[in-house]
Each structure stands twice: as C-alpha cells, then as structure tokens.
Amino acid sequence: MDTLLVPPEALQPTARRPGPLWLLAEVTYRCPLHCAFCYNPVDFAAAGPELSTDDWLSVIRQARAMGAAQFGISGGEPLLRDDIEALVAEARRLGFYTNLITSGVGLTEARLAALKEAGLDHIQLSFQDATREANDLITNTRTFDLKRKVAALTKAAGYPTVINCVLHRSNIDHLDRIIEMAAEIGAEYLELANTQYHGWAFLNREALMPSAAQLAQAEAVTERWRQKLGKKMRILFVTPDYQSKKPKKCMNGWGEVFLSVTPDGLALPCHTARMLPGLDFPDVREHALDWIWHDSPLFNRFRGTAWLPDTCQTCEDKDKDHGGCRCQAYMLTGNPDATDPVCPKSPDHALIETALATAERQHNSHPLIFRDPKASKRLERAF
Amino acid sequence: MIPAGACPRINRLFRFQWEPAQQAHVLLYPEGMVKLNQSAGEILKRCDGTRDLPAIVADLEASFNATGLTADVEAFLAMAEEQNWIDWTEA
C-alpha cells in the first residue's frame, strides 16, 4: 500500500475568503430628482449603456452562489426601469433578502402590487425634508406630497417602513419635525444620514455642511426622540466623518462584505470607487463575479491593511478603520493611498479643519448645483 | 411575564432562514443580517406561532436528549423579544 505522503488537510481545497454578503445593483443613473447631495459621480452622464435584464439576472445568480444574502436595488431611481419586478423575483427565489432603495417616484399602486407578488422584502423610501417647501427646494422637484402618499401605500402593503433622510445645512434644523413626520407615518426605522461628501455632495460641500452647533442640536433632538419612542421606531444617526474626526472602515473593509455594480456594468467595492484614478474596473459582462471578488486587481488593491501608509501602519486603530475612506483621501489630497484626512493623525488633517472653519463662517451664500444630465455634461468631472 | 398559552413567532420585520454559505441560521432584516449560533437557531426554528414555551422546551429536550432547558430558553426569548426578533400570539 502506498504511503500517504501528503497530509490529508492539504488535499482539501484552499480555504478562500468568504464571498460578498451584500450585492448592490445600481441599475440606472437616471433620476427624476436632482438632489444636490447625491453621491453619484458628477460625470454620470458619460457612463456607458445600462446593463440588460439578463446581465443583471446573471450577476444576481452568481452573487447568491457566492453566499451573498442581501440584495439592494438602487440608482438613480431604480423604478425608471421596468424590469425591477423580474430582478426582485429571481433574487427572492434564490433566497436573497430584497431591498428597494427609492425616492418613491414611480411607485404606483399597480407597481407596488407587482413587487409584492415578486416577493420584495423591504422598501427604503427617501425623504429630503419634512415640509413641502424644503423637500421640493433641495430636490429641485415637486415630489413631497407624492412621497407622503407612497409612504402610506407601502405601510398599507405590510412592508417594514424604512425612511432615509440625508441631513445637511438647510434641513438639519428641521430635524424635530422630520422625526415627528416619520413617527406619524409609522416608520419602524429612520435613518438620518449626515451628508457624506462624495460626487455632487463634494461639489456642493460649502453649501451643505452644517455648523458644529447645528450638529450638536441635531444629536440632542435625536436622543430626545429615541427616549420618547423606544422600540417603536429605531433611529439611526450616521455621524458625519468630518466632524466626528474618526475615519470609518469604509464599507466594513474594501472587498470584505460589499459588492456594488454600476448601471453600465462595473463591479466596485464601494458606491463611489469609480472616481479613483489608475484602477481597472472589471466589467461584469467580461468577467465572472467570483474572479472579480477574489482575484481582480481592483478588489485586492486596498484589501486588508498591508498597503496602508506609514501613518496608519504604526497606529493601534488600523484594524478598526483600515485608514478610512479611499475616495475621501483621493478627493482631498489627490492620493488614494493617503490616510483619510478626517483622522487627526493624518498629515493632511488641516484640510478638514479648514472646511469646518468655513462652515462656521459662511451664511448660506453658496448656490447649489443640482444633479442633472446637463450639469453633468457641462462639468466633466468625477466629483 | 409570558402569558400562559401565548406562542412566540418571528416578527414580520425579520426573515429567518438557513444560509448554506454561513452554515448557520440567520435573521435577515432591512439591509442587515444576524448570524445565529446553533442553540439560537434551534429555538427560533420552533417559534412558528403554534407552539407555546413548554411545547418548545419539550421539543428541544427531546431533540437534543437534554433536560432543564426552560430557564435558558426563557432567557433567550426575553432577549429575542427585546431585539424585536419575535413577538407573541394572543393566548
């Protein structure tokens, strides 16, 4: 009998890192809203043609086979496509938890019924403010009444009601009324997301950034409502990077849990990574998702902590924050390998202090640049 | 206090399922997931709105050849209710 020279464990396939848990399909950059705080790339109008339904179905099947459990459909406004129901049905059949992230525009009763039939688990509805005037101003549309109507419809259809509101200089003082509105609607979750300065939001940063006093007041208001509502409505308050001075482990780590696909088929480790220079973004029509996740240069570029700059290598928090957000580092310093400047230990932290000081001084004098295809073509820039 | 005869069930805000990739039961909810250890999975699997606490305990004790699980199961269900994972049917 042959001697077994190879230890049995070596015969097992090499243990691979887990696959993504989250698949986000950004199915279109088209949007009826024109929010000045949108994180989409400013040059979205230059993106290639949108993926077909079959392309998306293939992505969904591959991601589920790799172990992804959460499937989100976002955009732009995903309801501008007429195949959302088909994507949801396939994702749900495969065992995904399905999330539709929408402005509510286009969510008619008929469509809501079709999505329910397809097995949609959850709708996240965005509100931009608590009054018609303020909502319609920042979105540059007349959509407030429609959103209230859609919220009532989704509630009646038995969905968990999740409301998202992006906070900025012009609406943060209305927070008390915003939370009250969410409670009136009967939301189970309210996500209050302070603007992250990517894409259009970076372009409009001076006009959008609240003062420290505004932010402190908003936190106090949130806490008061948490005490009052308890378990009835969970309120998530996402602190802004700039003011918290804490770099965030972006997407819970580059290439660790999250995979996003752009309308034109590029696979990304975070929503905004396509702005980064010198990277080859794999196209889901040309490469298998398994190769993209495990082996592509893009998904390995900032994976783990080995690539971190010296400032971070010697820092005790490097495993907690992985040096912060790559896009933020690039937008602010021009170097995507730099320590995120929001970190006080960053050699570039003065850039943040300057932005914060500007927010204290200014008096709402900056005009907003609204997100629309014309402006996108005219500006010809990523952020 | 758990009313006599009331049965725990998974809250409608959550979906409970077996995930082959995790080799674990999980609770899925809007944009999130809780990975459950084996005992949590086995308890929640039995929270189908038709079995009360004594029935769930009896079933677990029979399945795992154990005794005296009542206090552990009760404590877990109290935590699960606090987390909104379960609610109780009317007695």
The token duo for A4 is: 């077994």
Write the residue in A69, A158, A231 that is nearest to B26 by C-beta.
A69
% of chain B with per-residue pLDDT over 70: 98
Could you give the count of Cα atoms lying within 13 Å of A221 in the half-sphere of its Cβ? Answer: 16
Q: Nearest residue of B to residue A65 by CA position?
A: B21
pLDDT at residue A8, rounded to an integer? 42
Tell if the CB–CB gap between A160 and B13 is shorter than 8 Å: yes
Q: Nearest residue of B to residue A73 by CA position?
A: B31
Instruction: For A257-292, write each residue's pLDDT tens digit.
Output: 999 999 999 999 999 999 999 999 999 999 999 999
Q: Summarize the confidence of residues A8-25 as an average pLDDT.
A: 73
pLDDT at residue A137, rounded to an integer? 80
- The complex scores an ipTM of 0.90
Tell if the CB–CB gap between A160 and B21 is shorter than 8 Å: no
Distances (CA, A) of A141 to A17, A133, A153, A192, A286: 45, 10, 21, 21, 38
The token duo for A382 is: 């990523």
Tell if the CB–CB gap between B28 and A121 is shorter than 8 Å: yes
Distance (Å, whole) CA A190 – CA A300: 34
Q: Nearest residue of A to residue B83 by CA position?
A: A231
Three-state SS at A343: coil
pLDDT at residue B91, rounded to an integer? 64
Residue A1 pLDDT grade (very low, low, confident, very high; cuts 50, 70, 90)? very low
Minimum distance, in Å, between the CA of residue B28 and any CA atom of chain A: 7
Minimum distance, in Å, between the CA of residue A292 and any CA atom of chain B: 18
pLDDT at residue A138, rounded to an integer? 80
Cβ atoms within 10 Å of A62's Cβ, excluding its own? 18
Q: Summarize the confidence of residues A361-365 as an average pLDDT.
A: 71
Tell if the CB–CB gap between B22 and A160 is shorter than 8 Å: no
Write the residue in B13, B19, B28 that is nearest to A188 by C-beta.
B13
- Whether the pLDDT of residue A44 is over 50: the answer is yes
Q: Which residues of A touch B13 (CB under 8 A)?
A: 160, 188
Strand A189-194 with A161-167, pairing: parallel
Residue A363 pLDDT grade (very low, low, confident, very high; cuts 50, 70, 90)? low
Q: Nearest residue of A to residue B31 by CA position?
A: A70
Q: Nearest residue of A to residue B22 by CA position?
A: A67
Distance (Å, whole) CA A203 – CA A36: 9
Q: Which residues of B touch A18 (CB under 8 A)?
A: 21
Three-state SS at A134: helix
The token duo for A179 is: 């939370």
- Whether the pLDDT of residue A11 is over 60: the answer is no
Collect all residues from A whose CB is shorter than 8 A from any CB in B.
18-19, 21, 66-67, 69-70, 72, 95, 97, 99, 121-122, 124, 158, 160, 162, 188-189, 231
Distances (CA, A) of A295 to A291, A308, B62: 5, 20, 47
- Whether the pLDDT of residue A79 is over 70: the answer is yes
Which of A278, A249, A247, A273 shows the shortest CA–CA distance to A262?
A273
Share the mean pLDDT of chain A: 92
Question: What are the two backbone dihedrals, phi and then psi, of residue B67, each rounded to the nearest 5 degrees?
Answer: -135, 165
Distances (CA, A) of A70 to A39, A76, A111, A257: 21, 19, 22, 10
Q: Which residues of A touch B81 (CB under 8 A)?
A: none
Q: Nearest residue of B to residue A232 by CA position?
A: B84
Minimum distance, in Å, between the CA of residue B61 and any CA atom of chain A: 30
Tell me if chain A has a CB within 8 Å of the CB of B35.
Answer: no
% of chain A with per-residue pLDDT over 70: 95
Q: Between these two residues, A373 and A134, which has the higher pLDDT value?
A: A373
Tell if the CB–CB gap between A231 and B19 is shorter than 8 Å: no
Minimum distance, in Å, between the CA of residue B30 and any CA atom of chain A: 6
Instruction: For A91-141, write each residue's pLDDT tens digit.
Output: 999 999 999 999 999 999 999 999 999 999 999 999 988 888 888 888 788
Write the residue in B15, B20, B21 that is nearest to A97 by C-beta.
B15
- Whether the pLDDT of residue A10 is over 60: the answer is no
The token duo for A109 is: 């009763």
Contact indicator for A99, A325 with CB cutoff of 8 Å? no
- Whether the pLDDT of residue A4 is over 60: the answer is no
Instruction: For A50-62, write each residue's pLDDT tens digit.
Output: 999 999 999 999 9
Q: Summarize the confidence of residues B39-58 as an average pLDDT.
A: 96
Would you say the C-alpha torsion A97, A101, A104, A107 has a positive or negative sign? negative
Tell me if chain A has a CB within 8 Å of the CB of B23.
Answer: no
Strand A258-261 with A234-238, pairing: unpaired
Minimum distance, in Å, between the CA of residue B26 and any CA atom of chain A: 10
pLDDT at residue A12, rounded to an integer? 45
* Ramachandran sector of residue A267 (left: φ over 0; alpha: ψ -120 to 50; beta: rest): beta
pLDDT at residue A135, rounded to an integer? 82
Residue A25 pLDDT grade (very low, low, confident, very high; cuts 50, 70, 90)? very high
pLDDT at residue A366, rounded to an integer? 76
Contact indicator for A56, A25 with CB cutoff of 8 Å? yes
